[in-house]
Amino acid sequence: MTNTSASAYYTAHEEALQQLKLARKKKRIVYMLSAFGDESADEKEQYVFAVGGVVAQRGEWDELKLAWDERNQGFPTFHAANCESAREEYKGLDVGACKELYADLVRLLAEAKGLLGFASAVSLPDYRKAFPELPMDLPYFLCFSRVLNHFTEVSFLSVPQEVAEVTFDHSRHEYNATELCRLIAEDSEWRFFGHFDGDVRFSCRKNSSELQVADLIAREGMKHLYNQIGPDKRGTRRSINALADTKRFKFEFMQHVALSGLKSKADALHSENTDYRGWLEMRGLVDNLSNRLKYLWVLRHEGFTP
């Protein structure tokens, strides 16, 4: 890039950013953190399920969005799994160029100082062993609640304290996500009560650079655990190291210890427990293993050992 073209690029970049800032000033924003999340799993959903997300103040999102969209020009709408393997919408493109794009986007996130990321992944074989009688939608509850709790804690610890506004990608789990947010928003004993706006919004990844970023974080969490427990064991990816080394991106993995501990606590939680019984009665629920897990994990965050 010549000096002249570089100057023109940065001038255009600053002008675009300034226009976004002016548009923001026309809206009333009350200390709001915007968090975006997505899910990821291996192709046949046999080994790992993960939910990941990213959070930043709106002004920080504006700046990142410009850089993200600029780097993705000339490529299809970003999709982490397909970009790395040059398949589906990336089919026919140069594989090296797709891998370079992925690496550049990881670098962009690592350098985005105001961005925080988090992913929670569960080992599906360990989940099936611990809870053979339960449906396979519960791993979503486990991962989603951890991500939501993490970003609400970020808003709680912010100075001044803020309120988390959450947007997730459209998926078959939308009903579960809505139910989970309702349970949490109604729980006045939750440590971070009042720092989550009580709603979850759904959008399309195609129209949201922020959800594309969340997709990359979720994939990194999924791939790390998959490389440990999947059929082909592999070492730690450079991409997840680059993110984790910033100390702004965190990844947690639920395996045998965490899941068996949760199962033991659920088995010990009887309907005679006053708090638990009141929680069931208030919501018209019956005592079963699924509701015990939601109460322990989602609302009390008990039974987890990283």
All domains in the chain, ordered by first residue: 31-255 (3.30.420.10)
Tens of pLDDT along the chain (306 residues) come to 444 444 444 455 566 556 545 544 433 233 345 567 778 888 778 999 999 999 888 888 888 999 999 999 999 999 999 999 999 999 999 999 999 999 999 999 999 988 999 999 999 999 999 999 888 888 888 888 888 888 888 888 887 788 888 888 888 878 878 887 877 777 777 777 778 877 788 888 888 899 999 999 999 999 999 999 999 899 999 999 999 999 999 999 999 999 998 888 888 887 677 888 888 888 888 998 888 888 887 666 665 544
- Report strand pairing: 163-169 vs 32-41: parallel
d(CA 211, CA 204): 8
d(CA 25, CA 62): 13
User: Hey, which residues does 120 pair with through a beta bridge?
Assistant: 51, 252
What is the longest distance spanned by two Cα atoms in the chain?
75
Angle subtended by helix axes 58-71 and 209-229, to nearest 10: 80
- Report strand pairing: 48-57 vs 116-123: antiparallel
Strand, helix or coil for residue 114: coil
d(CA 213, CA 108): 10
DSSP state of 169: E
- Report strand pairing: 249-254 vs 116-123: parallel
Q: Is the dihedral of CA 275, 279, 284, 286 positive or negative?
A: negative
Q: Could you tell me where the DSSP H helices lie in 77-162?
A: 80-85, 95-111, 124-130, 138-157
In the numeric block, which tokens belong to residue 131? 């809870």
d(CA 261, CA 149): 19
